[in-house]
Chain A
Amino acid sequence: MSEAAQQTPATPGGEIVVVTNLVKRFGTHAAVDGVSFSIREGEVFGLLGPNGAGKTTTISMISCLLAPTEGTVSVDGALTTKEPMRVQGILGVVPQEIALYPTLTAAENLKFWGRMYGLHGQLLEQRVAEALDLAGLADRAKERVETYSGGMKRRINIAAGILHHPRLLVMDEPTVGIDPQSRNHILETVKELNRRGMTVLYTSHYMEEVEFLCDRVGIMDHGRVIALGTIDELKRLVGDENVITVRVETLPDGVLDALRALPDVDSVTVSEGESEGAEEVDADEVASEGASIQVLSRDSGAVVADVVGVLGRAHARILSVDVREPNLESVFLHLTGKSLRD
């Protein structure tokens, strides 16, 4: 636990972060547009949304990097605009970018960031060793960060944010662009930190990570929180709808209308290539790229055969068929009509 946390014992279930009607405008563009949510002490809270949804801007305001245009953020009762230093002492931040000095060693980087959080002397040495252990890089502590792989850099990037044992760890897409092994290591690290009592705010556009880690999730799109709750609560938004995804090489005229007319089909969307959902495309584009058709249905077992039959009769060459139970992806699809990765 951080020094601040040791002085003010956590109140399990109490709200450590309260975000109220938060707005951030850049010129006329509202990157964050009236966001409200709270994070309870001890939980892992996820902000899920596609790129450009406003997740990074939101956590930049929570971390006192940006001042809100409107609204407030309070962390442990302190407003970010009034007591930024106090808030920053409570937070540990892991930015999306690898914010390290490549020509310094891992240990030198960690010592520097520890000093920025006010650590020094024996305590600093101890925390650096502990963070290196957690990152699994103690044996490479004296090597320059520029010699590390992308995954190793990500692990040191996280280690730099937890040196002072923050009460709230803010992690912005910490697994972007790394190999599965490093990703698993990072996810397990987050779990471990949470087990030790650290509250975590985790942003991602990977729904699998959010499902694996988070107790509660806010789904963001176009600067707004469009859904908020536990994983189960969010899944209930789509009821027992399954997603049938069919990849086709061609998309003959009239086939989408035929699919929508099938009994027990709730909605049909189509996108180019392998992505799911989103904008409708014309036949010419599909001819060159292929298409993915998403069919939402509560009775996928019966509907999948009808879908394949309609496509077969229309001479649409089917490349693959996939049926999934409700997940955060289908929740997002249900709420926005597009995929998280769009």
Chain B
Amino acid sequence: MRWIHIGIRDLTITVRDKASIGILIAMPMILIVILSSALGNLAENLGKTAIGVVNLDRGRIGGEVTDGFFKDGQLTKLFAAQRLNTPEQARELVARGDLAGALIVPEDFSRNLNNGRASELTLLTDPGREIAGVVTRSVAESLSIRVSSASIAARTAAFYALRLPVKNPAIINATIGKAIQSARETGTIEAVALDERTAAKGEEISQLAYYSGGMSVMFLMFGAMFGAFSLVRERDNWTLPRMLMTPTSRVEILGGKLFGVFIIGVVQFAVLYGFTSAIGVKWGDPVALALVALSTVCAATGLSVFVAAVGKTVRAVSGLAQMIIQFMAAVGGSFMPVSVFPSWLQPVHYASVNGWAIDAILNIMRGSHAVSVLPNVAALLFIAALFFGVGAWRLRWE
């Protein structure tokens, strides 16, 4: 049972090292709060497209078009719209980059529509903000169709109503009103349908929740790398050779070191789980999460043995560990969602511990249970076995 004493000793040394505690516990807490606050606002702002609306129409229909940006629940989620007085003002704000686009309703918009003439809405866009422009154009077209439909419906209804044997104006007006309403509702249903197609499935994940998962996984990797440092440092400081000169086998020594790293990882995740839960993160099914957390710690621990084997000195281990952690954090989604990566880069996240772990954690946060994250758990355990095997094989003891 010497391995237990080796693990406990490593735990004691880690706990006494204030810098280690800072890196393993305090840093992720701070980063979770900072990143979720800063990037959370940024994402919210980026999510709403700032547009300007200029309504020069003397009639009623122009108001109906532009009101959509302020009153329609779906559109207010997409757009941060502001009313402007003149086309020049709109042009200036778009040119300056303050607005992604501006919709201008001309003076004779209602009159032209009522008289059956074509009318034109003007959309000013910023060529540098292509996506925002496309979204604005799409919505503007949708609103135009809606208004046009209403106008055509009204005129068509009036045309046929006047040819009906009914002479009661109330009935005629009611018929025309129903046609307009029907046309408007049809347009509205189309707009909503578009929105629903792009909506995310399941529970919405806040920035805070996202970074709680991303940072926890990244700092679990840092924690595991302390194991790699510890192995190499012990080799350099002669405590490892000294252990090898006692009646303690290499299996016990390596087992003890891994036990220490594993416990540090579990404690670290538990503390971060407690902290983030206290500030409102809903992690989801605890059983599924425990499976993912434990397999992530295993993978990180295996990786630490590999790093200790490849890095011959503390400096080499430090450089290699930094490189691996930052690469895995970047491609695995610790800093930003993999979904924003270009399509060619997205599959690379499966080459990282972070990718498999964060993918599983996000699914759990969305409501998945243990069975659905088993593939991720299996992948993490495979990574653990692979790195541990190669590392243990190549580890230099003396």
Interface residues, chain A, CB within 8 Å of chain B?
A: 60, 63-66, 85, 88-89, 91, 93, 95, 97-101, 103-104, 108, 112-113, 115-118, 160
CA separation between A64 and B249, bound complex, in Å?
11
CB <8 Å contact, B247 and A108 = no
Does any Cβ of A come within 8 Å of B322's Cβ? no
Task: Judge if B76 is at the interface, Cβ distance under 8 Å.
Answer: no
Is B13 within 8 A of A63, CB to CB? no
A95 touches B5 (CB 8 A): no
A99 touches B239 (CB 8 A): yes
Instruction: Tell which of A65, A103, A112 touches B244, judged by Cβ atoms closer than 8 Å.
Output: A65
In chain B, positions 13-29 with a C-beta closer than 8 Å to chain A are 13, 16-17
Q: Is residue B58 contacting chain A, with contact meaning CB distance below 8 A? A: no
* Residue contact A88 to B239, C-beta cutoff 8 Å: no
CA distance A118 to B2 in the complex (A): 8
Q: How far is the CA of A48 from the CA of B137 in the complex (A)?
A: 90
CA distance A91 to B247 in the complex (A): 9
Instruction: Report the nearest A residue to B10, measured CB to CB.
Output: A101
CB pairs A–B below 8 angstroms (25 shown): A64-B245, A65-B241, A65-B245, A88-B245, A88-B246, A91-B245, A93-B242, A93-B245, A93-B246, A95-B245, A97-B237, A99-B237, A99-B238, A100-B239, A101-B239, A103-B13, A103-B16, A112-B5, A112-B9, A113-B246, A115-B2, A116-B2, A116-B243, A118-B247, A160-B242
How many whole Å from A164's CB to the nearest CB in chain B? 9
Cα–Cα, bound, A108→B247 (Å)? 19
How many chain B residues have a CB neighbour from A under 8 Å? 20
A99 x B242 contact (CB < 8 A): yes
A95-B238, A101-B9, A108-B12 known; A63+B245 contact, CB < 8 A: yes
B244 contacts A117, CB within 8 Å? no
Chain A residues near B248 (CB-CB < 8 A): 116
Chain B 237-276 interface residues, beta-carbon cutoff 8 Å to A? 237-239, 241-249
CB-CB under 8 A for A116 and B398, given A65-B245, A104-B13: no
CA distance A66 to B13 in the complex (A): 28
Interchain residue pairs A-B with the least CB separation, the first 3: A97-B238, A99-B238, A99-B242
CA distance A116 to B6 in the complex (A): 9
Contact B9 A104 (CB under 8 A): yes
Query: Roughly how many angstroms separate A64 CA and B5 CA in the complex, as a whole number?
Result: 22
Closest chain A CB from B14 CB (angstroms): 10
C-alpha spacing A65/B249, complex, angstroms: 11
Q: Tell whether, in the assembled complex, residue B242 and residue A95 are in contact, meaning their CB atoms are under 8 Å apart.
A: yes
Which residues of chain B come closer than 8 Å to A97, judged between CB atoms? 237-238
Chain A's nearest CB lies how many Å from the CB of B397?
9
Identify 4 new A-B residue pairs, CB closer than 8 A, beyond the known A65-B244, A104-B9, A113-B242. Answer: A88-B245, A103-B13, A103-B17, A115-B5
Within 8 Å CB of B2, what residues of A?
115-116
Give the distance in Å from the alpha carbon of A284 to the alpha carbon of B389 in the complex. Answer: 60
B245 x A101 contact (CB < 8 A): no
